[in-house]
Amino acid sequence: MIKMLQAMLQGTGTSLEVFFITLLFAVPLALPVMAGRTSRNRILSTVTKLFLLIIRGTPLMLQLLVVYFGPSLLCIWINRKFGMDIRITWPRFLAANVALIINYAAYFAEIYRGGIESISPGQYEAAKVLGYTKDQTFFYIILPQVIKRIIPAMGNEVITLVKDTALVQIIGVSELLRVAQETQSRLFSFMPLFVAGVFYFIMNWIVEAVFLQIEKKLAYYK
Amino acid sequence: MEQSEEIIKVENLSKSFGTTDVIKDISFSVYKGEILGIIGPSGSGKSTILRCITQLESVSGGSITVCGKKLVTAGIYADKKTQRDIARSVGLVFQNFNLFPHYSVLKNITDAQIHVLGRSKEEADHMARQLLSRVGLSAKADNYPCELSGGQQQRVSIARALAMKPEVLLFDEPTSALDPELTGEILAVIKDLAEEKMTMVVVTHEMAFARDTSNHIIFMDGGVIVEEGDPQNIINNPQQARTKAFLSRFNA
């Protein structure tokens, strides 16, 4: 029993690492993605739109497989074509994070865009007439209001991210659910799966509490 | 007023959105200490004039000079630095207030002073509190805009504009979003400013106010000045048929 819990806590550790690394990189990376999407440069915005369409239009599990196996398959193709001998394999854990970061940056970028477009033009006009520069307008006037507006949508995504970390087992990362499944078939007991469910639930409970706290903090104005 | 300094000079201004001409070849001047009232039906181009002077819209043709500095000469804009300089001497009060909802009333008034004019926090605070007491809202300094009535919000936005010490203050239908009871408190603030010889341009639908407070009135329709002159004459005794028709509803 204790051994089972130990193994599952280790799996939970891996899940949490994937979760935090994804969040840490996807949150800022989504900003340039959003900038590309809303850019007046036709080529840039079209490329970004295509990127968003592909990322949001295909299963995350497929993206994990492509990111992990893609480079080595590409090498085999190049080697055959040009008679070379390149080999690239990269760590599963890294590949898992890269795939999740790309996927979540796409979703976050669209949430940011929605937030920014919901700010009334009057806010920009008032700032301009008062003499704020464009940067000042964005960081002092627009961004704080955007953050407040996107918090509920971001909460949704972050909760989904906790559960999506379970998908990285497809490329062999031993996260919580995979450990639970292995333990289940070894012990022939339903218990590990139940415990995994409780673990996910607790993680999301915490996520929700954190977001509620942020919402409360920002509730001082409408 | 002839000897007085010209604060705003608009010459042959035109503005079109696509193929629609909103302003057609308009010229007028505003002198120091003067209050210009602009009246006319919706869509006549009144607000667009203010938006051109405050650089929220770019003109299609003509010239605008503010405090002797050329903003646009025959449709060609001055360099960015001059544009910014000119923007600082012009204040604008919006129909919908456009206060910053995430800032307290006090911070709405101090923030631009600190970040744009580079005043110290103490200086900005002092100025803001002075202005708040002037518009009768000293008690609301720590409230947020959403906790104020429309009339109070508009008074804060006037204080916010005044804090930048503009040479001229423009009002874009400052009472149109307010119910008649709240309209009075805004008009009182503007009258108070008029007594201190603040130069102002007021686009308004309040005819009695325009008549009693302004020194000069422009009646616009279809992007042109139909009639202008002494407020009493224009409102009480209009000459042009279009002006008569428009004012007939107010002079009942």
Query: B227 pairs with which residues across the strands?
Result: B219
Distance from CA of A114 to the nearest CA of B (A): 19
Show the low-confidence residues of chain A (pLDDT under 70): none
pLDDT, position B3? 56
Helix (H, G, I), strand (E, B) or coil at B219: strand
- Phi and psi, residue B203, nearest 5°: -90, 120
CA distance B174 to B190: 10
pLDDT, position B252? 47
Residue of A nearest to B85 (CA): A131
* Contact of B13 with B61, CB cutoff 8 Å: yes
pLDDT, position B43? 83
What's the half-sphere exposure (Cβ side, CA atoms, 13 Å) at A136? 15
pLDDT, position B30? 92
Query: B26 pairs with which residues across the strands?
Result: B13
pLDDT, position B251? 60
pLDDT, position A190? 87
pLDDT, position B92? 95
Question: Mutate which of A129, A142, A217 to test chain B, going by most B C-beta atoms within 10 A?
Answer: A129
Show the low-confidence residues of chain B (pLDDT under 70): 1-3, 251-252
**Contact residues, chain B, for A122 at CB < 8 Å:** 94, 96, 98
Distance from CA of B80 to the nearest CA of A (A): 12
pLDDT, position A54? 96
* Contact of B251 with B235, CB cutoff 8 Å: yes
Of A11, A102, A36, nearest in space to A64 by CA: A102
Query: B172 pairs with which residues across the strands?
Result: B203
Distance from CA of A26 to the nearest CA of B (A): 26
The kind and range of the H/E element at B214 are: none
